[in-house]
A and B are shown apart, each in its own frame.
Chain A
Amino acid sequence: RKEVEQDPGPFNVPEGATVAFNCTYSNSASQSFFWYRQDCRKEPKLLMSVYSSGNEDGRFTAQLNRASQYISLLIRDSKLSDSATYLCVVNVLGGTSYGKLTFGQGTILTVHP
């Protein structure tokens, strides 16, 4: 079983749609969670951190369920510019685990006019 699993998609949605991505992780010692965004042939860039209480940044909402080891990302009012691959990322903190992120394989989103 992969440490971090995502539905690879692709998700094809019209502008203005709401889309949700899910992610599960297997290591219960994971303490730090993120969503990264990666545009075609570019480097991953941090979209948002995910906190236990859930957090929102504009049109983006992230949720964490530690009991189910499940992370989600909701995008509301999708824009063409949201088209990208979304990467779920976890980190086990402490000791020599810093600098050592585990990535899901990514979910591809295409927003069309």
Chain B
Amino acid sequence: NAGVTQTPKFQVLKTGQSMTLQCAQDMNHEYMSWYRQDPGMGLRLIHYSVGAGITDQGEVPNGYNVSRSTTEDFPLRLLSAAPSQTSVYFCASSYLSAGRDTQYFGPGTRLTVL
């Protein structure tokens, strides 16, 4: 299994540009999430999904859209990039086991918005 994969690894955008961060998992996990990590802030939840066709907002959803048309894929779209969206983005997937929801993370996408 490849686990959780993310593309691209690095990206530089200009203010106002749009782009999609790709995330895929091959573990047949029900739950998928997007986080951003900024220095001193820890990981903050952007959007998450509890199954195909079902998404919900996390702590910092503004400026981002998601969709979950398949179990495997959970892309994150930046509608109009802003410098405040410069961050490291992690995608994660998980499933319930013994009542616990243990998340597995992708390697991250480092995004710079100029």
A82 to chain B, nearest CB (A): 20
A95 to chain B, nearest CB (A): 9
Contact string against A for B residues 32-69, beta-carbon threshold 8 Å, 1 for contact and 0 otherwise = 11010000111111001110001010100000000000
- Which residues of B sit under 8 angstroms from A49, Cβ to Cβ? 100, 102
Interface size on A, residues (CB 8 A): 23
Interface window among B12-20, B78-86, B104-112: B104-112
Band of interface residues on B: 20 to 34
Is A99's CB within 8 Å of the partner chain B? yes
Which residue on A lies nearest to B107, using beta carbons?
A43
Q: Is the CB of A43 within 8 A of B90?
A: yes
Is A103's CB within 8 Å of the partner chain B? yes
Q: For the complex, what is the distance from the CA of A99 to the CA of B43, rounded to whole Å?
A: 14
Contact string against B for A residues 42-83, beta-carbon threshold 8 Å, 1 for contact and 0 otherwise = 111110010000000000000000000000000000000000
Among B33, B101, B106, B108, point to the contact of A93 (Cβ < 8 A): B101
Q: Is the CB of B31 within 8 A of A99?
A: yes
Is A96's CB within 8 Å of the partner chain B? yes
Residue of A87, A98, A102 most packed against chain B (CB within 10 A): A98
- Known contacts: A32-B99, A43-B90, A101-B45. The answer to whether A96 contacts B50 by CB under 8 A is yes
Q: For the complex, what is the distance from the CA of A79 to the CA of B113, rounded to whole Å?
A: 38
Q: For the complex, what is the distance from the CA of A8 to the CA of B40, rounded to whole Å?
A: 8
Q: Is the CB of A106 within 8 A of B48?
A: no
Is A1's CB within 8 Å of the partner chain B? no
Is B26's CB within 8 Å of the partner chain A? no
Q: For the complex, what is the distance from the CA of A45 to the CA of B45, rounded to whole Å?
A: 16
Q: Is the CB of B58 within 8 A of A100?
A: yes
A-B contact pairs, 14 of them (CB 8 A): A4-B42, A8-B40, A32-B100, A42-B108, A98-B30, A98-B31, A99-B32, A99-B48, A99-B103, A103-B42, A104-B42, A105-B40, A105-B42, A106-B42
New A-B contacts (13) at CB < 8 Å, excluding given A87-B42, A99-B92:
A32-B99, A43-B106, A44-B43, A46-B102, A46-B103, A87-B43, A91-B100, A91-B101, A96-B54, A98-B94, A99-B32, A99-B50, A99-B101
